[in-house]
């Protein structure tokens, strides 16, 4: 939702209409429950170039000797401990009359205020915010982005209380964009029925471009930091098609309004209840290849509103904001969302059947060719995300896989198996709809590992031991031919040779010099004794830079010997590396020329 002087009147009308039609579970506006919320937050940003937000939290109706104020350690969707409390400065507490109250820190993210029986406490603090990233906060001379879990404290034990947030933007900025509901008659003030909702509604502040469109009967807003020369009509037209394809798949939309927050250049995106925050390099909209990548990305973040925000593993909400929330099922939440990127775009008429098969093939190739495929199954990759996915060591590339990639492959196998076993009567779509109806709407909770499996097996009408016990939970090889055969498809699984010579030590730039970031197992670099953190100085006596290294290696042939000078702990060494050939499997998926009628029927029902 956007609040600015020009649009306020329209928005208030929309808001009233939205209240009349409000039927979405778990997202009722605060006004309906409490006339005067006990908690109110004001956030201001007087000097953006200092990168400090100023936050004031007022809490009324308190009882007791002391109150703990807590800052979350992470934000849902980005499964990494961020310790946002480290950005807090100048914490102060007073009672409702302005009398200072004593406080002490009792944990890294906890401020205990001695309330001295005061019914009201006002705490204030600054938060340093200079990371333009969807799971962090930013404030600069070009605007601000707030990840609420990283900016707003809550009172321990009172996450369920309603709260209002008043945003006082820097005077140069006209727009405040967020999924929060605006409070009628108070421009810049928004309400949340509880802190879970607040923490799930990021806020973009600045002079962003605003586009609006209607899809499936709901208002949608695009708030964009910079769209470059993008064709606006095509951009919103394609978003509308994605929304309508998702609404058709699931049967309804669980929100009254939705906002796409394009927060600026960079990478990454994060899903939220009725919004998503995504980075976008405006140039990437210009060429068809990267535009298709953008559509996949935005379809992914959008579909999360069902798969993970509504249809979710039991560990993922209500959240414990102070520590890791473990689940074996991020391959379902993330991987199936990758799978549905392609399915949604195909149904929206934005991706052809051949393009879907090509994307599925390369997603499969990503994890099948990863060295970590030998060690880490999908369930373990999900569970260990907190320590070995978003935060990675130099050995991670060799020992882990991505639950995004392997989960998309498992989604493919599940969908094909359910369609085949049910003789076309059911599909993975039915599993999604059943989970949405049973767990999100009726039981109002997440599902266990067993409940997810049961929903899949009920749709298939047969046990799915191979997929769940072997493929998801162990590193056993998959029988792709069998599953793809259901749809009359074949897959290339024989190892081939990657083009060019193989060195096997990717590097990263350190002041222009290439420094080895990881060494691929059994690669020429590994056999020659090169190690992570070695700085490559010269090849055959010629000085190299990060820019020139790849070209110099590719100019040679597999089997050639190359003399490598490298620096390790301040000393230069020399070693001879025999360049190799890297074997890789392509996993190209193609359709049989003469499929059986049953195969053709399955393929036609599956992909347009």
Work out how close the CB of 337 gets to Zn ion at its nearest, in angstroms, rounded to a whole number: 5
Cis ω before 318 (30° cut-off from 0): yes
Residue 57 or 299 having the CB closest to Zn ion:
299
The CA dihedral of 26, 32, 36, 38, to the nearest 10 degrees, is -20
Residue 263 or 602 having the CB closest to Zn ion:
263
Give yes or no for a contact between 40 and 30, defined as CB atoms under 8 angstroms apart: no
Residue 69 or 78 having the CB closest to Zn ion:
78
Site for Zn ion in 233-262 (CB under 5 A): none
Give yes or no for a contact between 278 and 298, defined as CB atoms under 8 angstroms apart: yes
From residue 279 to residue 318, the character string flagging contacts with Zn ion as x (rule: CB under 5 A) and all else as - is: ----------------------------------------
CB crowding 248-263: b at 16 or more within 10 Å, else e: ebbeebbbbbbbbbbb
From residue 60 to residue 89, the character string flagging contacts with Zn ion as x (rule: CB under 5 A) and all else as - is: ------------------------------
Work out how close the CB of 269 gets to Zn ion at its nearest, in angstroms, rounded to a whole number: 8
Site for Zn ion in 484-523 (CB under 5 A): none
Residue 27 or 403 having the CB closest to Zn ion:
403
- 482 vs 353: CA distance, rounded Å: 20
Residue 161 or 301 having the CB closest to Zn ion:
301
Pick the closest to residue 210 from 239, 191, 236, 184 (CA basis): 236
Residue 95 or 334 having the CB closest to Zn ion:
334
Work out how close the CB of 316 gets to Zn ion at its nearest, in angstroms, rounded to a whole number: 12
Work out how close the CB of 330 gets to Zn ion at its nearest, in angstroms, rounded to a whole number: 9
C-alpha distances out from residue 230 to 291, 313, 442, Å: 10, 37, 42
Supply 3's token pair: 């609040």
Find the angle CA(119)-CA(72)-CA(186) to the nearest 5 degrees.
Answer: 60
Residue 339 or 483 having the CB closest to Zn ion:
339
Work out how close the CB of 343 gets to Zn ion at its nearest, in angstroms, rounded to a whole number: 15
Size of the site for Zn ion (CB under 5 A): 1
- 567's enclosing H/E stretch is strand 561-568
Pick the closest to residue 254 from 25, 429, 15 (CA basis): 25
Backbone angles phi, psi at 447, to 5 degrees: -110, 155
Residue 334 or 405 having the CB closest to Zn ion:
334
Q: For 28-137, where are the E strands, in sequence order?
A: 39-44, 52-59, 66-70, 88-95, 103-107, 110-114, 121-128
Work out how close the CB of 411 gets to Zn ion at its nearest, in angstroms, rounded to a whole number: 13
For Zn ion, the nearest residue by Cβ is 334
Work out how close the CB of 333 gets to Zn ion at its nearest, in angstroms, rounded to a whole number: 7
Work out how close the CB of 334 gets to Zn ion at its nearest, in angstroms, rounded to a whole number: 5
How far does Cα 388 stand from its chain's mean position? 16
- 436 vs 434: CA distance, rounded Å: 5
Site for Zn ion in 325-364 (CB under 5 A): 334
- 277 vs 265: CA distance, rounded Å: 12
- Residue whose entry in the numeric block shows the structure tokens 């939702």: 1
Residue 161 or 334 having the CB closest to Zn ion:
334
Q: Helix, strand, or coil here: 513?
A: strand
How far does Cα 22 stand from its chain's mean position? 27
Work out how close the CB of 305 gets to Zn ion at its nearest, in angstroms, rounded to a whole number: 11
Supply 109's token pair: 């993210």
Residue 272 or 417 having the CB closest to Zn ion:
272
Residue 118 or 270 having the CB closest to Zn ion:
270
How far does Cα 57 stand from its chain's mean position? 29
Work out how close the CB of 259 gets to Zn ion at its nearest, in angstroms, rounded to a whole number: 18
Work out how close the CB of 552 gets to Zn ion at its nearest, in angstroms, rounded to a whole number: 37
- 353 vs 424: CA distance, rounded Å: 18
- 145's enclosing H/E stretch is strand 143-146
Chain positions contacting Zn ion, by CB under 5 A: 334
């Amino acid at each position: 939702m956007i609040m600015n002087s020009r649009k306020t009147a329209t928005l208030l009308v929309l808001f009233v209409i939205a209240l009349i039609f409000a039927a979405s579970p778990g997202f009722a506006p605060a006004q309906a429950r409490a006339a005067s919320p006990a908690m109110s937050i004001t956030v201001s940003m007087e000097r953006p170039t200092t990168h400090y937000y100023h936050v004031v939290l007022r809490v009324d109706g308190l009882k007791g000797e002391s109150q703990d104020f807590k800052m979350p350690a992470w934000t849902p969707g980005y499964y990494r401990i961020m310790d946002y409390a480290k950005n807090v400065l100048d914490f102060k507490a007073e009672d409702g009359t302005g009398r200072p109250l004593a406080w002490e820190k009792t944990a890294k993210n906890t401020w205990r205020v001695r309330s001295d029986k005061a019914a009201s406490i006002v705490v204030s603090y600054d938060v340093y915010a200079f990371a333009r990233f969807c799971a962090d906060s930013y404030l600069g001379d070009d605007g601000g982005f707030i990840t609420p879990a990283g900016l707003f404290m809550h009172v321990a034990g009172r996450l369920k209380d309603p709260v209002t947030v008043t945003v006082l933007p820097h005077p140069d900025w006209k727009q405040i964009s967020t999924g929060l509901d605006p409070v009628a008659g108070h421009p810049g003030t928004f309400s949340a029925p509880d802190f879970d909702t607040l923490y799930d509604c990021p806020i973009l502040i600045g002079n962003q471009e605003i586009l609006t469109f209607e899809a499936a009967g709901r208002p949608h807003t695009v708030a964009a930091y910079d769209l470059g020369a993008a064709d606006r009509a095509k951009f919103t037209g394609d978003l509308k098609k994605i929304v309508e394809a998702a609404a058709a798949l699931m049967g309804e939309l669980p929100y009254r309004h939705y906002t796409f927050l394009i927060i600026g250049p960079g990478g990454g995106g994060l899903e939220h209840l009725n919004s998503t925050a995504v980075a976008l390099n405006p140039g990437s909209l210009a060429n068809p290849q990267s535009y298709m990548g953008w559509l996949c990305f935005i379809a992914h973040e959008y579909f999360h509103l069902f798969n993970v925000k509504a249809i979710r593993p039991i560990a993922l909400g209500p959240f414990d904001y102070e520590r890791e929330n473990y689940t074996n099922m991020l391959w379902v939440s993330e991987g199936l969302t990758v799978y549905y990127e392609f399915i949604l775009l195909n149904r929206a008429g934005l991706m052809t059947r051949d393009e879907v098969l090509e994307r599925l093939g390369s997603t499969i190739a990503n994890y099948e060719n990863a060295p970590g495929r030998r060690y880490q199954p999908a369930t373990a990759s999900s569970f260990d995300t907190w320590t070995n996915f978003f935060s990675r060591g130099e050995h991670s590339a060799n020992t882990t896989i991505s639950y995004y990639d392997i989960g998309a492959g498992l989604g493919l196998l599940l969908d094909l198996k359910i369609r085949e076993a049910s003789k076309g009567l059911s599909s993975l779509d039915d599993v999604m709809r059943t989970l949405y109806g049973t767990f999100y709407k009726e039981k109002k909770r997440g599902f266990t590992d067993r409940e997810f499996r049961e929903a899949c097996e009920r749709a298939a009408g047969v046990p799915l031991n191979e997929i769940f016990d072997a493929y998801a939970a162990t590193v056993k090889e998959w029988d792709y031919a069998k599953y793809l055969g259901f749809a009359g498809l074949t897959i290339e699984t024989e190892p081939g040779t990657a083009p060019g010579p193989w060195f096997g030590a990717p590097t990263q730039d350190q002041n222009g010099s290439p420094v080895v970031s990881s060494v691929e197992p059994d690669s020429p670099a590994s056999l020659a004794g090169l190690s992570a953190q070695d700085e490559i100085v010269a090849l055959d006596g010629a000085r190299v830079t990060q820019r020139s290294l790849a070209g110099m290696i590719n100019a040679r042939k597999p089997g050639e010997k190359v003399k490598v000078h490298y620096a390790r702990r301040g000393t230069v060494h020399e070693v001879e590396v025999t360049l190799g050939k890297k074997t890789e499997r392509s996993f190209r998926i193609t359709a049989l020329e003469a499929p059986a009628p049953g195969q053709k029927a399955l393929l036609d029902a599956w992909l347009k």
